[in-house]
Amino acid sequence: MSVSISNCFSNLLCQEDSSGVFSGESPGCSNSDLESPACVEESISVFIKNERHFVPDYDCFSRFQSPSLDAAARLDSIAWILKVQAYYGFQPLTAYLSVNYLDRFLCSRRLPQTNGWPLQLLSVACLSLAAKMEEPLVPALLDLQIEGAKYIFEPRTICRMELLVLRVLDWRLRSVTPFNFIAFFAYKLDPSGDFIEFLISRATEIILSHIREVIFLEYWPSCIAAAALLCAANEVQSLSVVNPEHAESWCNGLRKENIMGCYRLMQEIVLDNTRRKSPKILPQYRVTVRTRMRSSDLSSSYSSSSSSSSSSPNKRRKLNQTHHWVHDDKGNNTEE
């Protein structure tokens, strides 16, 4: 049975009075209290309470270690999402939401195959939905399929996949992510506000670089945000003395053992990435040519240089000849 796209999205029309939507009032706080510490604390507590509804199932990490889910294929999909995010200048939140939708879908529904075109179609659909949620300008579906996409899907095919993702995720796209906590935790870590911008920027980089790792599916967004900020604080001399165990006091609902476990894991990966990016010193080889030449031979070589100029092109042709070896399917090497 075919599904009409227009009929499916007609149910999204809001039937409420729009006066309350655009009034700027928050359900729990009045306009005068929106910036008050108590209201912010209450909002963060609500995020921590609800974040469990926007993370993959508890056994998702173990499933990625089994043949039912392909961790390598997931890694390729996330790498492609990050390339497109960088190409179009999407917000970090857009990339994170894309991966969040991807993981939640994979842990709830099986694809026909663990890699290949089904996973790429799912990746395109998740990125498209995330971009529609967060970006003011969203490229066309065909323009979204760039940066090494192996398959190109028609827009109507992607729209059908988007509808399937929406159904599997129960239409819950406004996920709680680490970015809901970063600014609040940064002020807790640096009350003076001297390094707030650096902490938020560096923690964002760390979070995006770690969404590739399957093991972080075991940690909730608030824990990931706290651990990323602690890693960023290590790069600031005046904040490097902060005790990571004190992060539990930043807000109710945080658990010290979870934060410390995630923090240690992030530190290991950050150090490993630093070693990989460090410049490698290539070994230098000295080549010496031992020749025996008398002074008479040296003078004669200069006198014969003019006479040898006519034959030099032939010598160059011989020296510049290259041999190309082709390895055929039968394991034989042939020279071209």
Q: Where are the domains of the chain?
A: 56-169, 178-276
Q: Under a CB-based contact definition with an 8 Å cutoff, are residues 210 and 177 in contact?
A: no
DSSP line for 28-88 = SS-GGGTTSHHHHHHHHHHHHHHGGGGS--TTHHHHHTSTTS-HHHHHHHHHHHHHHHHHH
Per-residue pLDDT 10s for the chain (336 aa) are 443 434 443 344 444 444 433 333 444 454 444 456 778 777 888 888 888 888 776 666 566 655 556 778 888 999 999 999 999 999 999 999 999 999 999 888 877 766 689 999 999 999 999 999 999 999 999 999 987 888 899 999 999 999 999 999 999 999 999 999 999 999 999 988 889 999 999 999 999 988 888 888 888 999 999 999 999 998 888 887 678 888 888 888 888 888 998 999 998 887 776 666 555 444 443 434 344 444 444 344 444 444 444 444 444 333 334 333 334 444 444 444
Give the torsion sign (CA, 218, 221, 227, 228).
Answer: positive
55 HSE (CA, 13 A, CB side): 24
Q: What is the pLDDT of residue 327?
A: 42
Q: Which CATH number fits domain 56-169: 2.70.70.10, 3.40.1190.20, 1.10.472.10, 2.60.120.260?
A: 1.10.472.10
Q: Under a CB-based contact definition with an 8 Å cutoff, are residues 203 and 236 in contact?
A: no
Contacts of 267 (CB under 8 A, 6+ apart): 231, 234
Residue for token digits 């706080």? Answer: 29
H or E, element range at 325: strand 325-327
Q: What is the pLDDT of residue 39?
A: 80
Nearest-angstrom CA–CA distance, 161 and 126: 9
Q: What is the pLDDT of residue 52?
A: 81
Q: Which amino acid is at 64?
A: F
Q: What is the pLDDT of residue 35?
A: 58
